[in-house]
């Protein structure tokens, strides 16, 4: 599969899937650290949480500085401080990371740059570790080979996107907090390096502790 400047269109996406669970924070860290490099269009969502000493329902949006290749914070709710204070033990309950951002002015361009954005996150995981935050299995999503799909709201001048490869956390059992990792992939993505790499990671998950690189 070759990345082009244009996002292809797909009328339907049908995925096979592989599951592994239960999954915990260290398993997601392992996945991030050992995921294969890719040039494919990419998007992702992550949630980092502070276990103790936080202001309930306080949060910040994590930003990605492309030039400095560092992470930062947007203005956030219920707490008026800066990145340095968070790294000294700030009391935000959650740090939310989404790429592209929900209000992206050029999603197609962001998708094409997404693999580099993911690498910046991977290289800066100690940003969260030093501040006492853990990667939450509650919400995790990493997608490759983005395609445009039929609009969910026709007539509203919006565009809807799907993906040929998706790794995310889902409920292990209905009504229970435990989560599992699920790899979704379309038939034409079966032989990609990404799918093979995630299958190998799934085989090793739960068996290796995270290593902060």
Ramachandran angles phi, psi of 185, nearest 5°? -155, 145
pLDDT of residue 43: 97
Least confident of 1-15, 44-58, 129-143: 1-15
Q: Between 101 and 140, where is the model more confident? A: 140
Contacts 24+ apart (CB under 8 A), 192-199: 192/1, 192/145, 192/165, 193/36, 193/38, 194/36, 194/38, 194/40, 194/144, 194/145, 194/165, 195/165, 197/35, 197/36, 198/18, 198/31, 198/35, 198/165, 198/167, 199/18
User: Domains of the chain: which residue ranges?
Assistant: 15-204
pLDDT above 70 for 58:
yes
Q: Label residue 187 by pLDDT band (50, 70, 90).
A: very high
Q: Between 2 and 35, where is the model more confident? A: 35
Degrees, nearest 5: CA angle 184-115-87: 105
Mean pLDDT throughout 88-93?
A: 72
pLDDT of residue 79: 53
Least confident of 8-17, 149-158, 162-171: 149-158
pLDDT above 80 for 77:
no
Ramachandran angles phi, psi of 174, nearest 5°? -55, 130
pLDDT of residue 211: 41
* 183, 195 Cβ separation under 8 angstroms: yes
* Distance, CA of 33 to CA of 39 (rounded, Å): 17
Q: Is 175 left (phi over 0), alpha (psi -120 to 50) or beta?
A: left
Q: Label residue 57 by pLDDT band (50, 70, 90).
A: confident
pLDDT of residue 75: 66
Q: Label residue 208 by pLDDT band (50, 70, 90).
A: very low
CA distances to 16, 61, 126, 146, 191 from 187, in Å? 7, 35, 36, 15, 9
Mean pLDDT throughout 24-41?
A: 93
Mean pLDDT throughout 12-23?
A: 91
pLDDT of residue 1: 43
pLDDT of residue 151: 79
């Amino acid at each position: 599969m070759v990345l082009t400047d244009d996002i292809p269109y797909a009328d339907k996406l049908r995925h096979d899937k592989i599951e592994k669970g239960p999954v915990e924070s260290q398993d997601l860290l392992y996945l991030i650290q050992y995921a294969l490099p890719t040039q494919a269009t990419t998007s992702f969502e992550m949630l980092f949480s502070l276990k103790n000493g936080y202001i309930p329902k306080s949060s910040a949006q994590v930003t990605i500085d492309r030039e400095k290749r560092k992470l930062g914070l947007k203005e956030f709710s219920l707490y008026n401080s800066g990145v340095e204070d968070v790294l000294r033990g700030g009391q935000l309950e959650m740090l939310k990371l989404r790429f592209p951002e929900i209000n992206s002015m050029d999603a197609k361009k962001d998708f094409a740059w997404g693999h580099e954005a993911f690498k910046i996150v991977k290289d800066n995981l100690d940003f969260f570790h030093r501040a006492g935050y853990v990667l939450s299995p509650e919400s995790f999503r990493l997608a490759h080979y983005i395609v445009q799909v039929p609009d969910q709201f026709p007539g509203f001048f919006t565009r809807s996107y799907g993906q040929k490869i998706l790794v995310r956390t889902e409920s292990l059992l209905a009504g229970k907090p435990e989560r599992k990792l699920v790899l979704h992939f379309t038939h034409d993505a079966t032989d990609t390096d990404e799918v093979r790499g995630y299958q190998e990671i799934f085989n090793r998950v739960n068996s290796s502790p995270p290593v902060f690189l």
